[in-house]
Chains A and B, each alone.
Chain A
Amino acid sequence: MTLARHFAVALGVAVILLLLSLRLSPYRDYQMAEVAAYVTAVAGLTVLIGLSGQISIGNGAFMAIGGYASALVLIHLHWPLELVLLVSVVAAALAGALFGVAAARLRGPYLAGATLMLAVALPSIANQFPSLFGGDQGLTVAITPPAFLGATFPPTRWQAWVTCAGALITLILLANLSRSRVGRSWRAVRDDEVAAALSGLNVARLQILAFVVSAACAGLGGALLALVTGIVAPGAYTLTLSIALLTGAVLGGLGTLPGALWGSLVLVLVPTYLTNVGSSHGLSGAASSSVPIAAYGVVLIVVMLAFPAGIQGGLRRFFGPATAAPLTALRRRTPGSEHQEEGPI
């Protein structure tokens, strides 16, 4: 039942997006493609944080792996697009599994710190092997619309189709996963690791699985974003990108897939606007490009302190059923449990 409903919703959305892309200008098509690429990555992150209760500040690094994997396969092997995207997913998932196994014993702040380090360290590898990864300049990624669409078909519309298809498939899979046994187990682990372990759940394996899923989504998002922007370079995968993904997930509402869409819309549309506001108020180029970065910070702090359920939580409160449950992981814990993990001094 659930599966069928998810498919029906996705099909409806696909038709709407198709009609929309035919009416939009090439620039809006480009933005649509960008949003779709971000949705893919943010959805993976929101599932990781909201459902499994772990956090990653390094998903930008997995986007880099996906982006570079797709670029390398396109340049050297000339495989068809579906396979290129599949390779990028597999590459990022493998990297996520490697890192996830290594980090399986890490909890909360330790894991976050390790992923933070991954985000800061990974771009330096591209500079170490310039002949393979193109150094600072990076690699160019070029896709052209297939011939049957005609020679005059706008390339940005084709990009929008490809990325929206990728994002929709990801969302269907994630929606089903979160409704499945695995999703329920993740919630159990998130709410109480001890109780989950006592109920026979393999906590470590579930957490690694969540990490791999989020890395795979980030990899696909990275590959899609590379197709849209036409380039992969270390400068595109900074710590700011990883934190932008986190901002999107938190703002949209952690653990909710529609929230990933709202967050990504904001990530794509608002920074340009903020930069313009900054420069129209007399800030220099470098200074006004910092305005969106500061805004990410404000959003993370204010949403976390005041509206932990994010945009989707707000929408649910106004339009949804009255019983919509807030995200338990973010609710106040029982008094007295605040400092349970005290160590001997």
Chain B
Amino acid sequence: MQEFVEFTLGGIAVGMIYAAIALSLVLVWRGTRVLNYSQGGMAMFTTYVAWVVIRDTGDYWLGFFAALAAGLALGAFLESTAVRPTMGKAPLNSVIVTIGLLILLEGAAGIIYGGQYRSFPAAFSIRGLKIGSFGLGISEADLFTAAAVLAAALALFLVFEYTSIGLRLRATAFSPGVSRLLGIRIGRVLTLGWALAGLFGALAGVLVTPSTFLYPNSMDAIFVLGFTAAVIGGLDSPVGAVIGGVLLGVLLSYAGGYLGSNLVLVYGLAALVLVLMIRPSGLFSGAATRRV
């Protein structure tokens, strides 16, 4: 019983990280029909920014917000320089360009910061919480992770639903041509979408890195699981992304806990393939829109 509770709550905590990555992918996908493979690399890079700030100032929160700001800036920068020129060409081009961005960011991090594994601090204590003598399998840091991701997701929802910027974002995602005719500056809106995605990626990076160490490839595994979560939820659905993330987190937590943790990524791959075979456009997506 105790094990089960630990695995469930621990899985939800990790799932929130996957949810953050999944949200960042959904944001970009809805706006531009680009799957941003460099998201993991961006999150890794902004976490290095936080690491440098924390090392030099000793202030965790300064580093935390520096990473978020860097995420915004990096997202906007990459969209306006490398991704924009692929718009309107075959989808393959944007896939290859974002993979190029991923490996470029990883190589650049290796050149600037070296390949060593660095430890990265957590915001709060990582000691497991207990009720009496009953261990819950989560820590204060995990609670903060869940709260931060949920707060960010809620803020995103409010912006999307109740502000004119949100309306523009939704309109552009729905029909770029019509939006342009209506006077929306599509380019700026798309850049904003990428910036927001960069922010979510940065959040995920800062939150997950205390438990993985920081190195140029540190986000690879997290990214593919976040991608899996996004696909499970349906790439078009922000709500699906969060649910998919939590679902995947709990599922992998059980698999890792009861079957052994070496093959967690393989289980993730199996989950991805299974979901795609049953519902190719994800569990929470609307009507299938693929053409063949």
Give the interface of A toward B (CB within 8 A).
Answer: 49, 53, 55, 57, 99, 102-103, 105-110, 112-114, 116-118, 120-122, 124-125, 127-128, 193-194, 197, 203, 238-240, 243, 246, 250, 278, 283-284, 286-301, 304-305, 308, 329-333, 335-336, 338-345
The interface-forming segment of B11-19, B103-111, B200-208, B242-250 is B103-111
Pairwise interchain contact A114-B86, C-beta atoms closer than 8 A? no
Which 3 pairs across A and B sit closest by C-beta, in order of nearness? A297-B104, A290-B110, A294-B107
A310 to B202, CA, bound (A): 34
Query: Closest Cβ of chain B: how far from A21's Cβ, in Å?
Result: 33
Interface residue from A49, A102, A345 paired with B173 (Cβ < 8 Å): A345
Pairwise interchain contact B273-A102, C-beta atoms closer than 8 A? yes
Given A110-B276, A286-B114, A301-B104, list of 11 further CB < 8 A pairs? A49-B92, A117-B228, A121-B224, A124-B266, A128-B263, A288-B111, A296-B100, A296-B104, A300-B97, A345-B170, A345-B174
Q: A105-B280, A333-B88 are in contact. Are A286 and B110 (CB under 8 A)?
A: yes
Q: A243-B99, A305-B82 are in contact. Are A286 and B292 (CB under 8 A)?
A: no
Within 8 A of A (CB), among B9-48: 29-30, 33-35, 37
Pairwise interchain contact A297-B176, C-beta atoms closer than 8 A? no
Interface 1/0s, chain B 259-289, versus A by CB < 8 A? 0101111101100110011001000011101
Pairwise interchain contact A125-B266, C-beta atoms closer than 8 A? yes
Pairwise interchain contact A287-B110, C-beta atoms closer than 8 A? yes
Pairwise interchain contact A300-B96, C-beta atoms closer than 8 A? yes
A197 to B291, CA, bound (A): 11
Closest to A112 in B: B95
Interface residue from B103, B174, B276 paired with A297 (Cβ < 8 Å): B103
A198 to B110, CA, bound (A): 49
Interface residue from B86, B103, B263 paired with A304 (Cβ < 8 Å): B86
The count of A-to-B residue pairs whose CB atoms sit within 8 angstroms is 213
Pairwise interchain contact A297-B101, C-beta atoms closer than 8 A? yes
Within 8 A of A (CB), among B215-232: 216-217, 220-221, 224, 227-228, 231
Pairwise interchain contact A341-B33, C-beta atoms closer than 8 A? yes
A121 to B223, CA, bound (A): 12
Q: A339-B177, A345-B170 are in contact. Are A293 and B103 (CB under 8 A)?
A: yes
A226 to B262, CA, bound (A): 25
Interface 1/0s, chain B 99-128, versus A by CB < 8 A? 111111111111110111000000000000
A102 to B221, CA, bound (A): 21
